RNA sequence: GUGGUUGUAGCUCAGUUGGUUAGAGCACCAGAUUGUGGAUCUGGGGGUCGCGGGUUCAAAUCCCGUCAGCCACCCCA
């Protein structure tokens, strides 16, 4: 009878994989703390409505949703944003501004597996609530950059594409598109990079053919690759809203430059982030080689807290997924071979010596030294072999002769040097040999 | 959800036109080795050949189905 298999798309972490995961999380967490973000978490299981309210019922096809034993419609969380909006919204008036929060959590989506995408994955989420100005974007993008740089990735390895849904909407308004048409155009922009001119088909079907003049103007903004070009294109449109928005852009880019991350960011109006809830600046991180899917994505979502029952609270956030990110680190050889090795390994002569040895093992462990020893009594040769393979720096030798003389022989497994120390000085001696 | 492709030991892979008890390397365990490690040698465990059905005297091999992995599409909050 075959054992039940791991569910498709779910992951198991053997010690080696777990070491990698822990390493990544450790750097992310440390970086977030350095930037003054506070960690939070929420439930893994949420009411289904938390997700359908924001994204409509069709989202349910992508959810791990079911009816629980109490008849509740529930879903495993596919993302953090609704949860954090609820958390913040519920206590918004009691929280000091700006609210800078982050989390590292697992998410679940009922989707087909692919490279860099499974049915469960971890995300680092960071958000700032309560700051409407581009200063919040500066801080978040700087954090995003550092979360990648912290592993040794450089501006040669990744970059961040920066765009703006507000700018697009103002621009399209100036071109005379109504609201529904503008939304349709955003969909076109999202697809244009991938399928080119065919992207306009969806607009044509809904609103009729677009005149060439306006199409050319859309393509002009789409082609913008820098602040100068952006200003030039926007100046032609001659809209007050657009001019005001440009001031935000200058503030954002200036801030990013001052923060030392300018080299990682490129102006690129081709990014609009799907049909999502974003209301202003949006950004996505990609590897430079371009053979992986997006590493991270985020943007401003000023309406969402209110939508989840909280007060009007401006917000901006981003998420980094662990799978694509790990693929990038592997490709660049930036995952250190992490080995969980003990500091010392006890080599024990026989049952008589074992009592003393275990006492010392305990003593060393109380002193926070990592110590291992063979559970079963075996020959000395085997124990030395095990000591070497464990990666320990020192072997502590408990033979008949040492125990009788009240000493412990310590062998440096690197250079083979041996010293004897009185049993009562063991902790000190081990510390010294380890250099701490 | 659609299409393509791949499934043999923990891992990487052999396995002849269908032919007897399916192999190798690495890894693991044990012995050589009763006080000094990484080596070497010897031995051992581990497979319903993804699963199910069909063709055949005979299937890892051929056919059908199914499941799973990979790749692309859809989607990507």
Tell which strand B nucleotides have any atom below 7 Å from a protein Cβ: 1-2, 28, 30-38, 48, 50-51, 67-77
Does at least one atom of strand B sit less than 7 Å from the CB of A276? yes
- The DSSP-derived string for A103-143 is EEEEEE-----BTTB-SEEEEEEEEEES--STHHHHHHHHH
CA of A112 to C1' of B1 (A): 9
* Nearest protein residue to nucleotide B48, judged by CA and C1' positions: A1
pLDDT at A238 over 90: no
Peptide bond into A202 cis (omega under 30): no
Closest-approach nucleotide to residue A118, Cα vs C1': B76
Does at least one atom of strand B sit less than 7 Å from the CB of A275? yes
Q: Pick out residues 30-49 of chain A having their CB under 7 A from any atom of nucleic acid strand B.
A: none
pLDDT > 70: percent of chain A: 99
Give the C-alpha separation, A436 to A426, whole Å: 14
CA of A10 to C1' of B54 (A): 34
Closest-approach nucleotide to residue A404, Cα vs C1': B35
Give the C-alpha separation, A315 to A130, whole Å: 6
Does at least one atom of strand B sit less than 7 Å from the CB of A349? yes
pLDDT at A5: 76
H/E stretch holding A183: helix A179-195
Q: pTM for the complete prediction?
A: 0.93
pLDDT at A319: 96
pLDDT at A289 over 60: yes
Does at least one atom of strand B sit less than 7 Å from the CB of A113? yes
CA of A309 to C1' of B40 (A): 72
pLDDT at A184 over 50: yes
Neighbours of A430 (CB within 10 A): 24
Give the C-alpha separation, A393 to A373, whole Å: 13
Give the C-alpha separation, A343 to A369, whole Å: 6
pLDDT at A415 over 80: yes
Does at least one atom of strand B sit less than 7 Å from the CB of A290? no
| C-beta separation of A364 from A414 below 8 A | no
Which band of pLDDT confidence, cut at 50, 70 and 90, is reported for residue A1? very low
Which band of pLDDT confidence, cut at 50, 70 and 90, is reported for residue A275? low
CA of A386 to C1' of B69 (A): 36
Question: A31, exposed or middle or buried, with CB in 10 Å at 0-12, 13-18, 19+?
Answer: buried
Which band of pLDDT confidence, cut at 50, 70 and 90, is reported for residue A335? confident
CA of A346 to C1' of B15 (A): 47
List, edge to edge, every strand of the sheet that includes A45-47. Answer: A45-47, A73-76, A65-67
| pLDDT one-digit tens code per residue, A108-153 | 999 888 888 889 999 999 999 999 999 999 999 999 999 999 999 9
| pLDDT one-digit tens code per residue, A6-29 | 888 899 898 888 999 999 999 999
CA of A78 to C1' of B30 (A): 50
CA of A383 to C1' of B43 (A): 21
pLDDT at A426: 97
Closest-approach nucleotide to residue A60, Cα vs C1': B77
Task: Kindly state the average pLDDT of the residues A207-227.
Answer: 92
Tokens of A321: 């997924």
Give the C-alpha separation, A140 to A324, whole Å: 20
Note the ipTM here: 0.88
pLDDT at A2 over 70: no
pLDDT at A69 over 80: yes
Does at least one atom of strand B sit less than 7 Å from the CB of A109? yes
pLDDT at A3: 61
pLDDT at A58 over 80: no
CA of A3 to C1' of B53 (A): 21
| C-beta separation of A86 from A46 below 8 A | no
pLDDT, averaged across chain A: 92
């Amino acid at each position: 009878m075959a054992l039940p298999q791991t569910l498709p798309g779910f992951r198991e972490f053997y010690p080696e994989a777990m070491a990698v995961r822990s390493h990544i999380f450790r750097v992310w967490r440390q970086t977030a703390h350095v930037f003054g973000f506070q960690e939070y978490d929420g439930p893994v299981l949420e009411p289904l409505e938390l997700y359908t309210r924001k994204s409509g019922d069709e989202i349910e096809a992508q959810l791990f949703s079911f009816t629980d034993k109490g008849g509740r419609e529930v879903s495993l969380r596919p993302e953090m944003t609704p949860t954090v909006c609820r958390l913040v919204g519920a206590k918004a008036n009691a929280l000091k501004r700006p609210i800078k929060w982050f989390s590292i959590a697992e998410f679940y989506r009922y989707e087909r597996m692919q490279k860099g995408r499974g049915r469960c994955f971890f995300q680092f989420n960071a958000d700032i609530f309560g700051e409407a100005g581009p200063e919040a974007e500066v801080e978040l993008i700087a954090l995003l950059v550092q979360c990648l740089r912290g592993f040794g990735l450089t501006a040669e390895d990744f970059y961040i594409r920066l765009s703006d849904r507000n700018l697009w909407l103002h621009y399209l308004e100036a071109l005379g598109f109504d609201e529904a048409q503008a939304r349709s155009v955003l969909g076109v922009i999202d697809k244009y990079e991938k399928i080119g001119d065919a992207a306009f088909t969806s607009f044509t079907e809904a609103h009729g053919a677009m005149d060439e003049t306006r199409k050319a103007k859309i393509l002009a903004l789409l082609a913008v690759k820098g602040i100068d070009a952006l200003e030039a294109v926007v100046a032609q449109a001659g809209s007050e809203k657009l001019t005001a928005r440009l001031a935000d852009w200058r503030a954002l880019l200036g801030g990013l430059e001052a923060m030392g991350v300018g080299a990682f960011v490129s102006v690129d109006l081709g990014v609009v982030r799907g049909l999502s809830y974003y209301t202003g600046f949006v950004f996505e991180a990609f590897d430079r080689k371009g053979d992986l899917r997006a590493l991270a994505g985020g943007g401003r979502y000023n309406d969402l807290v209110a939508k989840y029952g909280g007060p009007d609270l401006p917000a901006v956030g981003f998420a980094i997924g662990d799978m694509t990110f790990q693929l990038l680190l592997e490709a660049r050889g930036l995952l250190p071979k992490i080995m969980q090795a003990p500091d010392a390994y006890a080599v024990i002569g026989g049952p008589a010596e074992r009592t003393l040895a275990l006492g010392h093992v305990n003593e060393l462990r109380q002193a926070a030294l990592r110590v291992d020893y063979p559970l079963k009594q075996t020959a000395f040769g085997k124990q030395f072999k095990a000591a070497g393979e464990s990666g320990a720096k020192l072997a502590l030798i408990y033979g008949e002769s040492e125990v009788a003389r009240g000493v412990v022989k310590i062998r440096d497994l690197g250079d083979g040097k041996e010293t004897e120390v009185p049993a009562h000085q063991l902790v000190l001696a081990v510390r010294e040999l380890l250099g701490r």
